[in-house]
Homo-oligomer: A and B are copies of this chain.
Amino acid sequence: MQPSLVSIVAKRLRDEIEQRRFPLGTAFPTDAELAKGFGVSRTVVREAVSSLREAGLISTQRGRGSIVIAYTASPGFRISAEELESGKRLLHLYEFRSLIETEAAGLAAQRRTEADVQRIYDALQDGRSIGSFDKAIAADIDFHVAIAEAARNEYFQRIMATIRTATTARALMRFETDRESYVELYRTVLQKEHLDIADAIRDGHPSKARQLLKKHLGGRRYKALLKSALEQMDE
């Protein structure tokens, strides 16, 4: 079974765009030109162009034509749990995460509503009855989600969700044999730190919230990760 003309044309165009045959922002060939150049019908061209548009490579306006707006499809920002097996990468991610979550806490302290505050304390309340590993993980997630929402900037929310997904997956993989210690850590250390952060957000103290969140991520857990990463030295 042969590849369709649409997929052939789309791939050819994608390659040409990637090779910068059409400088960013300049006119992309018209439907008619492409149909003539590839020796296909306008239908095939339009379907191929539709997929290029979806890939974010071109932008089209009726009556004006298309322009190239990117040379390659947006890779996006993803973090796989596998890549975090590298100690160096984990350190880099924590450095990055620390910056994001610290600022999010500051914004949350500035922008929180009463409902936001309630939600943050609800997550803490849930955390008090932690009896199992998955409950501890879920409570930790809820707490950080609540802060992200209170920050009122969807890009913080989205990047924090992406980081959290990856770090949660890694924690699930890593603590398979030692969940009790995480639960204990959660009970004895993390909850207290969460409470302090929640108070600072409730009271509207951005600087203090930032400081406490940074300390939270730079505290005991970070030190343990650093130690673990140095032991690995696998990159």
Spell out A's residues near B (CB within 8 Å): 1, 4, 6, 10, 23-26, 43, 46-48, 50-56, 59, 61-62, 64, 67-70, 74-81, 89, 92-93, 95-96, 99-100, 103, 133-134, 137-138, 153-156, 158-159, 161-162, 165-166, 168-169, 172-173, 175-176, 179
Q: How many copies of the polypeptide does the oligomer hold?
A: 2
C-alpha gap A140/B48 in the complex (Å): 30
Interface centre among A24, A64, A137, A173 (most CB of B within 10 A): A24
> Is B24 touching A155 in the complex (CB atoms < 8 A)?
no
> Is A59 touching B169 in the complex (CB atoms < 8 A)?
yes
Specify which chain B residues have a CB less than 8 angstroms from the CB of A179 in the assembled complex: 25
C-alpha gap A155/B162 in the complex (Å): 12
Specify which chain B residues have a CB less than 8 angstroms from the CB of A138 in the assembled complex: 24
Specify which chain B residues have a CB less than 8 angstroms from the CB of A162 in the assembled complex: 74-77
> Is A56 touching B89 in the complex (CB atoms < 8 A)?
no
Specify which chain B residues have a CB less than 8 angstroms from the CB of A24 in the assembled complex: 134, 137-138, 168, 172
